[in-house]
Amino acid sequence: MLGYEYVSIGNMKRKLAAEMGISISEFDELGLRPENQKDFDLKYEDYQRSLSSDANIILDSRLGFWCQPNSFKIFLTVDAHEAAKRIFSQKRKTDSYATEEEVYIATKGRNDEMLERFQKLYNVNYQDTSNFDLVIDTTGKTTEETVSLIMNAFTQRQTNHA
């Protein structure tokens, strides 16, 4: 639609986890170890910071707002149970959940760990919505509805900055 490149840090991590033959949860646990910090968190943050601010990129990342502060920053939220339902239905190769409840518990734990880790590493709360230009609760919205809201806000921003 826009001709932008899509860069997903989560997909990059899931791909690496699959190559290592481990789950995304196991990958994240490895990243919690201080000796792995350089090869996990810092590697991805350095990569995000290295992206040109002039490039036509959609960066999907918890810390994208921080790594690319001059970008149009969007925060998508979703009810935790709906998130678990969506993740469970995707049947990702790097996940092996038996139930939606298991996804819910794992996702909540992972989010809590990341919030604490990023606070310690960077003094950043990636869930603080004041860091974003647009906040959308996607619970009950289709992908098309969410994209429409984003496109309208993005177009409005481009018009205002022209």
Question: Across the strands, what pairs with 57?
Answer: 5
Residues 14 and 92 sit within 8 Å (Cβ to Cβ): yes
Residues 58 and 4 sit within 8 Å (Cβ to Cβ): yes
Mean pLDDT of 104-116: 88
For residue 132, pLDDT over 80 is answered with yes
For residue 26, pLDDT over 70 is answered with yes
Q: CA-CA distance, 51 to 66, in Å (whole number)?
A: 13
Mean pLDDT of 104-115: 88
Note the pLDDT tens digit of each residue in 32-75: 787 877 777 777 788 888 888 788 888 899 899 999 988 999 99
Domains (ranges, CATH) in the chain?
Answer: 5-160 (3.40.50.300)
The secondary structure of residue 73, as a DSSP letter, is: -
The pTM of the full predicted model, rounded to 2 decimals, is 0.80
